[in-house]
Chains A and B, each alone.
Chain A
Amino acid sequence: QVQLQESGPGLVKPSETLSLTCAVSGYSISSGYYWGWIRQPPGKGLEWIGSIYHSGSTYYNPSLKSRVTISVDTSKNQFSLKLSSVTAADTAVYYCASVSGYLDYWGQGTLVTVSS
């Protein structure tokens, strides 16, 4: 059973960089799958942020592309999200998920609040 767990600061200051990590267990990232990040502002819908293949190929939401970097660390079996120049509009629950034509396994989500 694949399990994902997000971790990172719950509070980030405006203009700084949001950094989250997703630890994967029960499956080796090197074996395949794409791995993705999704976010959900409080009371709103889901938004696709981007995804990465184990080889490092990345695909980003065009609306966030200039601020997003997703990377993978196969030695630690985890992948990461960096979102730069954050504002209050980036306050959301951030989820990581496995992607195989669909999002089959999800992390529990972590709330990140952007505030000074």
Chain B
Amino acid sequence: QSALTQPASVSGSPGQSITISCTGTSSDVGGYNYVSWYQQHPGKAPKLMIYEVSNRPSGVSNRFSGSKSGNTASLTISGLQAEDEADYYCSSYTSSSTWVFGGGTKLTVL
């Protein structure tokens, strides 16, 4: 299985909005609504930020939102804050009953 495609890096200034894309195929992202997003700060375990394309777990800021169109999912962070600087990974269920991650995107808050 091939990793989902994410941009290596994105950046934005405090208060701005950014969007991270995650492109797969009809066998993963396009075929299921089991797309999730994870935030990872250095030296820490990943944290679930979005599940099932657009749902936020309890405790996650409503500045984080998710969507999907065809084979591409997106994570949008509005009102960027310094604490949002981290690596972000998307993940999807696949037709092989396995899971696949994106390569990760480093978010820099300028």
A residues neighboring B (CB under 8 Å): 36, 38, 45-48, 50-51, 59-63, 95, 99, 101-104, 106-109
Contact = CB atoms under 8 A, between A and B. Distances in A.
Contacts of B96: 59, 62
Interface string B41-75: 00001111001100001000000000000000000
A62 B57 contact: no
Contacts, number: 62
Which 9 pairs, one residue from A and one from B, show the smallest C-beta to C-beta distance? A102-B51, A102-B36, A45-B104, A106-B45, A46-B101, A48-B99, A59-B97, A45-B103, A101-B34
Given A62-B96, A102-B34, A47 B52 contact: no
Most chain A CB within a 10 A radius of its CB, from B57, B97, B98, B103: B98
Nearest to B35: A102
Contact of A46 (B48, B93, B98, B104): B104
B58 to A, nearest CB: 11
A60 B46 CA distance: 21
Contacts of A46: 38, 46, 89, 91, 101, 104
Contacts of B103: 45
Contact of A108 (B38, B45, B89): B45
A102 B45 contact: no
A61 B38 contact: no
Contacts of A61: 1, 98
A48 B46 contact: no
A107 B45 CA distance: 7
Contacts of A103: 36, 38, 46, 48, 91, 99
A61 B96 CA distance: 9
A59 B96 CA distance: 8
A99 B1 contact: no
B98 A60 contact: yes
B48 A36 contact: no
Contact of B99 (A51, A104, A107): A51
B100 interface: yes
Contacts of B101: 38, 45-48
